[in-house]
């Protein structure tokens, strides 16, 4: 199982640097439902900083929604918040990042992330990270 965090999802769909490298891991992924909120926020930000146009935003969101429907299993964040808080407090990371780590840990999956701090904590907890 590949757990995709928001940094990887956002980079892939907004075609940020290195997005092509991520494509080989994105065929089937699992994530926390909070990733949807983070993705929508990233699209909002991309429009506000003029990285994408207002006209392009609905197309990006439609692609994302179709991907979630066909290729991604979303898990409810509430199922992982207690353990995520422990990981966040013990490792000095945000609860948002710890949610993805917790999912990967509990499901014995790999974590697809572009976040260096999250990758470091994951490795320390015995989670395989990608890339």
Q: Give the model confidence (pLDDT) of 47-93 as tens digits.
A: 999 999 999 999 999 999 999 999 999 999 999 999 999 999 999 99
Residue listed under structure tokens 């790999």: 110
DSSP secondary structure string, 40-71? Answer: HHHHHHHHHTTSS-TTTHHHHHHHHHHHHHHH
What percent of the chain clears pLDDT 70, i.e. is strictly above it? 100
Q: How far apart are CA 65 and CA 81, in angstroms?
A: 24
Q: What is the CATH number of the domain that holds 26?
A: 3.40.50.1010
Report the number of distinct structural domains present in the chain.
Answer: 1
End-to-end CA distance of the chain: 14
Per the structure, the complete domain to which residue 45 belongs is given by 2-130
């Amino acid at each position: 199982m590949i757990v995709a965090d928001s940094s990887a999802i956002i980079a892939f769909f907004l075609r940020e640097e290195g997005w092509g490298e991520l494509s080989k891991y994105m065929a089937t992924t699992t994530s926390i439902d909070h990733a949807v909120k983070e993705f929508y926020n990233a699209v909002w930000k991309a429009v506000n900083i003029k990285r994408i146009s207002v006209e392009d935003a609905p197309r990006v969101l439609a692609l994302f929604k179709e991907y979630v429907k066909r290729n991604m299993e979303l898990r409810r964040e509430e199922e992982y918040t207690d353990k995520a808080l422990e990981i966040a407090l013990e490792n000095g990371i945000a609860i948002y990042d710890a949610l993805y780590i917790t999912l990967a840990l509990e499901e014995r999956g790999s974590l697809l992330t572009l976040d260096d701090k999250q990758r470091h904590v994951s490795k320390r907890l015995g989670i395989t990270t990608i890339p």
